[in-house]
Every structure is written in C-alpha cells, then in structure tokens.
Amino acid sequence: MVEGNKLEFVKKIRYITDYFLLKIPLPRINPNIISGLSILTSLTFILVVKHSSALGCALLMMTLFLDWLDGLVARRYNLSSEEGYIVDVTSDRLSEGIIFIPFFVPWFYLFALNNILTIYSFTRKRHVVLPLRHIFLVYFIINHL
C-alpha cells in the first residue's frame, strides 16, 4: 500500500501538481530524513509558540512544507515504498500529537480520531485521514496572529 488507495479527486490533483512540481530541481535526500525534520520542527513549535506566535506560525508552516516535500522527493526519485509510507504516516501522527500538546482541547479528540482513521487506512488499504495540521494552521492564524 504505497500511499494507499487515495480518493479519485486527490489522485487528479496530485497528477496535475506533480506534472509541474516534479520538473523543479529537488534535493536528492532520503524522504524519511525529511519526515524526521518535520518532527523536529513540531517540537520546536511547542517550545516557542508561547513566546512568539509569529515564529510558531512560521514553524508550523515549515512542518507542513517538509511533509509535502518528503512525498514530492519520494515521487521525483522513485523512492516510494511501503516502509516510506509507514514512516511518513507515523511522522505525521507524531507531529500532530506534538503540535496539539499546548492546545489540548478540542485538538486532542481530533488527533485521536485521526489515529483511528490511520489504523483504518492501514487495515483497508485506503488512505483516509483528516488534514488536521492544515486546519490547525488556519485556526492558529485566525486566533493567534
């Protein structure tokens, strides 16, 4: 299940964006390392968010950028694999869990739901999760900047 069976509209969007984005030069780095960096930016986010909302927002955007970049690099250099998919999804859930520590309610419940959806995705070989970090970014910008 490399990336699982995504919904058709997601596949169409990915096809269109990949057509353009895979032509730009990208670093030839292991996508799993990029996934690990997204966890580090999540940890840094919770350390600085109470002191600087702007820096916290920038770190949250960096986390989302790294999550996007790891998949793009994997597709660009044909490094997609079952192991890489598991590392990516696991790092996404870890990142969410870390980011939501300072914002426990209601984000913890959505995080728990996303973990259930992740388990469902693995058992059904169908990629179904909520884009919680993206939703959280919008929430954070509206309420903290």
Domains and CATH numbers, the chain: 30-144 (1.20.120.1760)
pLDDT of res. 106: 92
Quote the pLDDT of residue 13. Answer: 87
pLDDT given for residue 15 in this prediction: 86
Whether 42 and 95 have beta carbons less than 8 Å apart is answered as: yes
Q: Specify the pLDDT at position 4.
A: 52
5-43 in b/e form (b: 16+ CB < 10 A) is eeeeeeeeeeeeeeeeeeeeeeeeeebbebbebbbebbe
What confidence score (pLDDT) does residue 17 get?
87
Cis before 106? omega within 30: yes
Confidence (pLDDT) at 6: 61
The low-confidence residues of the chain, meaning pLDDT below 70, are 1-7
Residue type present at position 142: I
